[in-house]
Structures are given as structure tokens and as C-alpha cells.
Amino acid sequence: MTKQSTDRKPASPGKKRLKLVLITFGVVVGAFAVLYLLTENQHTAPFVYAIF
Amino acid sequence: MRAFLLNLLWVVVTLLLAVLAMEGVCRLIYSYKLDYQIEMSRYAAKLKRTSEHWGIGHEHRPSSSAHLMGVDVSINSHGFRDPEYPIEKPAGEYRVMLLGDSLTLGWGAAAEDIFATRLQEALARVIAACGAGRSVRVINTGVGNYNTDQEVSFFEARGRAFDPDLVILNYFINDAEPTPRQKLPFLLQYTYLGMSIWGRIDLFRRLYLSGEDFSNYYPALYRDDQEGWRQTRDALGRLARLADEDGFLLFMALLPELHAVGPEYGFREIDDRVSRAAREAGIRHLVRLAPLFAEEQPESLWVSMDDAHPNAKAHEIIARGIFDALVREGVTACDEAVH
């Protein structure tokens, strides 16, 4: 019988980078999506302009 | 170290790509759906500039135009949403000057539907009957974001030169706000994503962190310790004194807050308060328009579901209310109408 190895191969640099890219993209898009949904159709807001 | 820098580069590139993608999505969404925050930001970027008069704050760029909130907005060489006319008043012309903010400007309504245009048409019919050589010109000086102090400052610096016979100060409940001084950051003026985030963070802060909505925000402006309200009362006094000095007739119209109209106007106490302040300042002609909306459903009067500016129907009611008040006060009588 051969001993089954439980050691995991370390992730390749390419996979790590892909994970980093996906997380970064997801966080940015997700944050905007949450802000958008929470402030959509808010017709109870007064006429206040932070800018001119 | 090299691996860290490489990862950082990947994060930066990803952020840039995410921003570009979201900018594209925003442009796509907002080409189909009118968004109040975006349209107001575009208005600021395309049609406004900083005024050289500190009290005025900002003003329209002369001879500019844009398609905003679904309608064309054309600004003449004087900075008004009007056709062209000279500063000097022609003989036989009765001039009416409207002072106001985005409601008077006619935000979100076509030029032919706004109360300034309807008032012009109604007065023209009356004055035409007074005889040949007589005419009327309604001058709409409304600018979005103005408060009463800015409107009176504008009148002192520029409006008087048009020599109006009648000035109508159109008062809205947020006119007791302090003068806005914060300009849209330059970079945000050109990105829909930037404008959207800028406006929505402000909205988020008001709705979720400050617990602010129209029902509690407006009354807070009228506390005695509020600087904006003090400036408003001061401005009313300045305008009333100018009316005495220059000899023009001064009317004040209280425009309703269109969330709160119905059988019992939600801001009647504030209207009472503003009316008292106007009378104390020396303004004798006052028309309160909220009662004209008692039978109306609020949503039926709005430009859109997230923008409670008056639509064409609401403008028609406002025009009728002001015109009827002018008739009651004898302004439309021929001997009054032309000096």
C-alpha cells in the first residue's frame, strides 16, 4: 500500500493573482451596488444639494 | 518585495478596470432612466458658474443650453431661461420679474409648460386688450439652488437694471437654507460614476446616518438660531425697501412643497411663519398657493418619482394662482398695467 499524501500544492502565482483581481473587482462593484440599491427611489429626500 | 509590488499593480489595474466598467454601466442605465442626482450634477457642470458677486454665489452661464431631466433648457445672454430681449425697457412694456430657484426656473418641465411662460401668455392677453402699443414681458430669473438671500442679492446687483414694474418673489420652503458654496469637484463633472457616487453618498448620509427626510429637514431650517433663516428675513426686508425706493410693486408667492399637499397642507405652520416674516419685512402682497393643491394627489404633480419638482400640471396650477392674485390686487387693470 502506498501512503496517500495530504499535502496541498501551493497555489501558483497566476491563481493567486486571479483571486486578488476577482476579490478587488467584487469589493468595488459590490460596494457601489449596495450604495445604489440603498439610495434608489428615495422620494422622501428633501431638495438638498451638496453642490452647485 | 517584487511580488508585493506586482500584486499592488494588479490591484490598481483591476480598480481602474472596475471603475471603467461601472462608468459604462452608469452611462447605459442613465441613458434610459432619468436620475435626479445625475441630472442636477449635469446642470451644475453644464449651465452654472461661480458669480463674481459673493452674495449671488453662482449663476447661469450666459447663452448656454443643455438637455436636462428630459427637457431642453436654453439660457439667454442675460443668464435667464427666456428668449432674448434688451435690458432697456421698451416704451409701453410692462415688466414682471420672477425671482426664484429651480421651481421658478422650471426644472424638469418644458419651457412652454412652466408658470413663467403661462403667466406671460395670460398677462399678454389681458394687456393686449388695453390697447395698441402695450405689451408685457415676464422675466424668469430662476436659478437652481438659489435661496432668498441669493435672489435678492441678484436683484440688487443685476435685476434692478431691467426696471421691472412688478417683482414676484417665489418662495419655496428650502429657501431658508444657507447659500451653497461647495462646487462639484472638477473630475466628477465628467464621469457619471463620480456624479452618482457623490450624490448617493450625500443621500445615504442624510437618510441613514442623520435620519433626515423632507418632513423633519425643512422645519429644522426655521429654528430661530438658524443662520439661513436669519439671512432670509434680512433679505425680505432689503427687497421690500427696494420696492419703496424704486417704485415697483412687490408680490410674494409661497410655492407648496409637493410631498405635503392635500386636504391639510403638511407645512402650513411654516407658511404661517414665512408670511408673518414677510409682513414684518414690509411685503404687503402675499399669495399662498398650497390651498390650490388641496384636491391633488402629490405624485401626480411631480416631475418623476424621485423628483418632486412641479410638472406641467403643477405649473399650470401655480400660474393660475399667481394670475388670480394679480387680478384680485388690480395689477391687470389697464390703468395699473402701463405706467
Instruction: Tell me the chain B residues in contact with residue A31 when contact means C-beta distances shorter than 8 Å.
Output: none
Whether the CB of A48 is below 8 Å from some CB of chain B: the reply is yes
> Which of B278-304 are b and which e, b meaning 16 or more Cβ less than 10 Å from the residue's Cβ?
beebebebbbbbbebbeebebeebbbb
pLDDT band at A52 (very low <50, low <70, confident <90, very high): low
pLDDT band at A11 (very low <50, low <70, confident <90, very high): confident
Partner residue facing B18 (CB), from A13, A25, A38: A25
Instruction: Tell me the chain B residues in contact with residue A43 when contact means C-beta distances shorter than 8 Å.
Output: 259, 302, 305-308
Q: Are B257 and B214 in contact (CB under 8 A)?
A: yes
pLDDT, one tens digit per residue, over B114-154 is 999 999 999 999 888 887 778 999 999 999 999 999 999 99
Place of cell 405635503: B260
How far apart are alpha carbons B34 and B306 in whole angstroms?
A: 9
pLDDT of residue B183: 67
* Other CB atoms within 10 Å distance of the CB of residue B209: 8
Separation in Å, CA of B152 to nearest CA in chain A: 18
Q: Judge residue B6's burial from the number of C-beta atoms within 10 Å of its C-beta, 0-12 exposed, 13-18 middle, 19 or more buried.
A: exposed
pLDDT of residue B338: 45
Which set of grid coordinates corresponds to residue A51? 453642490
pLDDT band at B157 (very low <50, low <70, confident <90, very high): very high
Taking an 8 Å cut-off on Cβ atoms, the answer to whether B180 and A51 are in contact is yes
Q: Give kind and range of the element (H or E) at residue B207.
A: none
pLDDT at A45 over 80: no
DSSP string, A3-47: PPP-PPPPPPHHHHHHHHHHHHHHHHHHHHHHHHHHTTT-TT--S
Which chain B residue has its CA at the smallest distance from A46's CA? Answer: B214
pLDDT, one tens digit per residue, over B54-91 is 999 999 999 999 999 999 999 999 999 999 999 999 99
Instruction: Tell me the chain B residues in contact with residue A45 when contact means C-beta distances shorter than 8 Å.
Output: 203, 206-207, 212-214, 306
Taking an 8 Å cut-off on Cβ atoms, the answer to whether B22 and A20 are in contact is no
The interface pTM score, or ipTM, of the predicted complex is 0.70
Q: What is the DSSP letter of B162?
A: G
pLDDT, one tens digit per residue, over B163-208 is 999 999 999 999 999 887 766 677 777 788 888 888 888 888 888 8
What angle, rounded to 10 degrees, do the helices at B148-157 and B227-246 form? 30
What pTM, to 2 d.p., does this model score?
Answer: 0.87
pLDDT band at B339 (very low <50, low <70, confident <90, very high): very low
- Distance, CA of B255 to chain centre: 11
pLDDT of residue B163: 97
